[in-house]
Amino acid sequence: MNLGTEPPSIDWHTTTDATSGDVIVNVMSGLTQYRQDLTCAPSCARSWEVLDDGKRYLFHLRDDVFWTDGKPVTAYDFEYAWRRLEDPKTGAGYADFLNDVVNAKEINELKVPDITQLGAHALDDHTFEVRLKKPAAYFIYLTAHWATYPVRKDVVERYGDRWTDPANIVTNGPFKLTKWQHDYKIELSANDHFFEGRPALDKIKMFMVAEQSTAFALFENDELDYVDNRSFSTHDVDRYRDSPYYRRIPLLQGSYIGFNVLKKPFDDKRVRRAVAMAIDKSIFPKLLRRGERPSASWIPEELPGASPDATLPFDPVKARQELSDAGYPDGKNFPTVALLYANREDTRLVVESVQAQLKENLGISIALANQEWKVYLATRRKDPPPIFRANWIGDFPDAETFMNLFTTGNGNNHTRWSNADYDKLISSAAGELDMAARARMYKQADRILCNQEAAIVPTYVSTQNLMVKPWAHGLAFNALDIQFLKTVSISEEAPR
């Protein structure tokens, strides 16, 4: 398979990178795991109890789970791991994942100096208790995410930063990390003692081929058994759309045009609404051709809470009207603004199209500013430009991961938009355990975000494009783009 790039780290506490995740989920197991449909199944935890109206979780661990060095996996490994995740010295990017856990945020922000105060304790070797500040409907999903996987204290302390080297690392998943040629490939081999049984594959080679057309050529020459979006340029899709090897599956990844609502001219919501109505979203699938869907709401339609009509419909006449109400009839006197985007092939097509549409439908000329990825992130964080293109991939299968993004004070809310009604809806939805009521709240919030206030213009939802060789069986992909390889097998006809 192709990873695309070198994982910055495979320490599941310090990395936030999706590429790292692809390695980690195949060498490790957490308390729970995702089924194909993204519900949670038992893993290291045999079962769990939800107590005190959703404020206390008790996980009962299996007693037959072992680390690769033979030691058993205990609740104390989880306790240490969760403390390490919140310990400010670790510098964990996903530390805010456990914000609902008692004292987690406080420890991470140094307000509570004693990390043993974290509301997550091993009661004995096989019982792990978590206490939450308030009920959180999505909490169980977090226990399937790799950020909450257990860690061996002795290994981390002995090897320091180098504990993830193939020679040092100790894991508990279906595969073992055996070789890591940096910036080139990672090799995993089967863990004979994996508690769910030895996986079918003896060895997995994960190459790091950044160029899509090269990766695709490797697939055509049978060097790769499957390729996904990372190896699919828009040109390749055209050639292979009709191939029997081609598959397409949903992905929880939404793209949007964001506004900095504190900056002119987008401090006026009429201008934002005008822009939203002047963009014909149906054009993006035609340009990108990888199965994108125009966004109907910010929450992708696979998730409860999504609605078919939260976004403003394409309506150039009304768009011009609102723009004129805001003081820019036919785009006259509209200030010069530059749309910021990160320089990638597909985003370039999108923003060039937006630029042309705004010119045609509103008569306004916007400039485009492309920045390389790092500079783009820094600019967006320090001083968000008036208008920018961005995307977001869900961390777990719940509307919360999308909607929390635009609450007041969220570190990734670059729109600087702040709406009390919205914040209240999101906060109560998180604690609401009645799914129907919860979905209603999200729908209402989505309308505020995309329609009434138009703080963002959701553009499209991506899909995962795959080419799989006929001899590769059992590839189980899910919408979070987490690729579990323990179910995969290669049949005899494979050329090698």
Partner 1 sequence: MLSFLLKRILYALPVLLIIASLTFVLVRLVPGGPFDAEKNLPPEIVKNLEAKYNLDKPVHEQYFLYLGRLARGDLGVSYKYVNRTVNDIIGDAFPVSLQLGLIGLTIAIFVGVPLGAIAAVNRGTAIDYAAMFISTAGISLPSFVIGAGLIFLFGIELKILPVALWESPQHMILPAVTLAFAPAAYLSRLTRASVLEILEKDWVRTARSKGLSHFSTIVKHVIRNALVPVITVLGPITASLVTGSFVVEYIYAIPGMGRFFITAVGNRDYDLIMATTLLFALLLLLTNTLVDIGYKFLDPRMEVEG
Partner 2 sequence: MTQARRTVFGRIRRIPTAYVALWIIAVICLVAILSYFDFPFTRYAFDETTAQVLASPSIDHLMGTDELGRDVLSRVIFGSRLSITIGIVTAIVGFLIGTIYGAIAGYAGGRLDSLMMRIVDIAYSLPDLLVMILIGVLIGRGTFGILLALALTSWRGTARLVRAQFIQLKNEEFVEAARAQGQNHVLIALKHMLPNSLGPVIVAMTFTVPAAILAESTLSFIGLGLSPPACSWGTLASDGWRALRTHPHLIFFPSSLIFATVLSFNFLGDGLRDAIDPRTRL
Binding site for partner 2 (CB under 8 A): 212-213, 233-236, 238-239, 283, 286-287, 343-345, 348-349, 351-353, 355-357, 360, 367-370, 372, 375
Of 2-10, 241-249, 260-268, 275-283, which segment contacts partner 1 by CB under 8 A?
2-10
CB 296 within 8 A of CB 307: yes
183 touches partner 1 by CB under 8 A: yes
How many whole angstroms separate alpha carbon 137 and alpha carbon 130? 14
381 touches partner 1 by CB under 8 A: yes
449-477 in b/e form (b: 16+ CB < 10 A) is: bbbebbbbbbbbbbbbbbbbbeebeebeb
233 touches partner 1 by CB under 8 A: no
| Per-residue contact string for residues 402-441; x = within reach of partner 1 by CB under 8 A | ---------xx-----------------------------
Tell me the number of residues near partner 1 by CB under 8 A. Answer: 50
Residue 162 touches which member of partner 1, partner 2, none, C-beta under 5-8 Å by kind: partner 1
Residue 198 touches which member of partner 2, partner 1, none, C-beta under 5-8 Å by kind: none
Between 83 and 320, CB nearer to partner 1 = 83
Of 149-157, 181-189, 246-254, 354-362, which segment contacts partner 1 by CB under 8 A?
181-189
The residue count of the chain comes to: 496
Residue 367 touches which member of partner 1, partner 2, none, C-beta under 5-8 Å by kind: partner 2
| Per-residue contact string for residues 192-231; x = within reach of partner 1 by CB under 8 A | ---------------xxxxx-xxx-xx-xx-x--------
Between 304 and 316, CB nearer to partner 2 = 316
φ, ψ of residue 30 to 5 degrees: the values are -105, -165
How far is Cα of residue 178 from the mean position of the Cα atoms in its chain?
27
94 touches partner 1 by CB under 8 A: yes
Least separation, in Å, of the C-beta of 205 and partner 2? 25
How many whole angstroms separate alpha carbon 385 and alpha carbon 215? 35
374 touches partner 1 by CB under 8 A: yes
The identity of residue 229, as a single letter, is N
How many whole angstroms separate alpha carbon 43 and alpha carbon 56? 19
Least separation, in Å, of the C-beta of 358 and partner 1? 28
Which of 26, 32, 103, 164: binder of partner 1 (CB under 8 A)?
164
Residue 81 touches which member of partner 2, partner 1, none, C-beta under 5-8 Å by kind: none
Find the binding residues for partner 1 in span 102-141 (CB under 8 A). 108-110
Contact footprint for partner 1 (CB under 8 A): 6, 8-9, 11, 14, 16-17, 88-89, 91-96, 108-110, 161-165, 181-184, 207-211, 213-215, 217-218, 220-221, 223, 372-375, 377-379, 381, 411-412
